[in-house]
Amino acid sequence: MTAPERELPFYQPVGDECELFEAAWRQQLPVLIKGPTGCGKTRFVAHMAARLNLPLITVSCHDDLTAADLVGRHLIGDGATYWVDGPLTRAVREGGICYLDEVVEARKDTTVVLHPLTDDRRVLPIERTGELLQAPKNFMLVVSYNPGYQHVLKSLKPSTRQRFVALAFDFPRPEVETAVLKQESGLDDARIAQLVTLAGQLRRLAGYDLEEGVSTRLLVYAAKLMAAGMAPRRACRTALVEPLSDDTDTVAALAAIVDAQFAA
């Protein structure tokens, strides 16, 4: 049974990703979502958790994330030692979706603890307590990462990647992005059309003057600023140009593209 539509976090499908996710859920398969920053990966997971009526535990991975941060640790308090579950363990005990955002940012030894949960065993060994937790039917492991940031020191090992089914995300088509901006900001159609056109122009610079193209998330920020009354050029400079680069010449070039788009 799915949640009523009005309760779902807004997500505009771009293909059959919702159906694919549901199929993976029914078959108790772990899911890997890959795509550029701000393309809707996290919103998609939140949408699907609500759609499936599942609790969602999100972990934002970083360089210092350890296996103990995920699984849990012993703490000392009131003269006694007690065990505290980490977010992964809590999700396995209680059920729901455990979402590891930007999983490649975590230490390499951290992802090893995921392996027993991503095959037919679906178990989580907790060495410090001697427990072997069996994941319930309503547990699902989802991880995401941005392939554009991968390099030799930050990538998923093949032995980890091949434990997941994968969904590839990208920036949405113009008509989909238009619908997203309209829903999220309430900005008028003419300005939204200008923003979507501008996004296409800026994304063509990715890999040349920019490491990555402007995200849909940043477009939403710009649209919200404009809807609140901020001048389009100022809104775009604040939400699109400055976050993309610190290089003075690059910022100037991006600002010129914005000025040309909103010259009228």
Per-residue tens of pLDDT for the chain, all 264 residues: 444 444 689 999 999 999 999 999 999 999 999 999 899 999 999 999 999 999 999 999 998 999 999 999 989 888 788 899 999 999 999 999 999 999 988 887 788 899 999 999 999 999 989 999 999 999 999 999 988 765 545 678 888 889 999 999 999 999 999 999 999 999 999 999 999 999 999 998 876 667 788 999 999 999 999 999 999 999 999 999 999 989 999 899 999 999 999 986
| Interacting residues of 156 by C-beta distance below 8 A, sequence separation 6+ | 32, 103, 104, 111, 145
Q: What is the pTM of this model?
A: 0.89
Closest-CA residue to 42 (of 100, 113, 129): 100
- Cα gap 164→31, rounded to integer Å: 5
Whether the Cβ atoms of residue 123 and residue 135 lie closer than 8 Å to each other: yes
Whether the Cβ atoms of residue 161 and residue 176 lie closer than 8 Å to each other: no
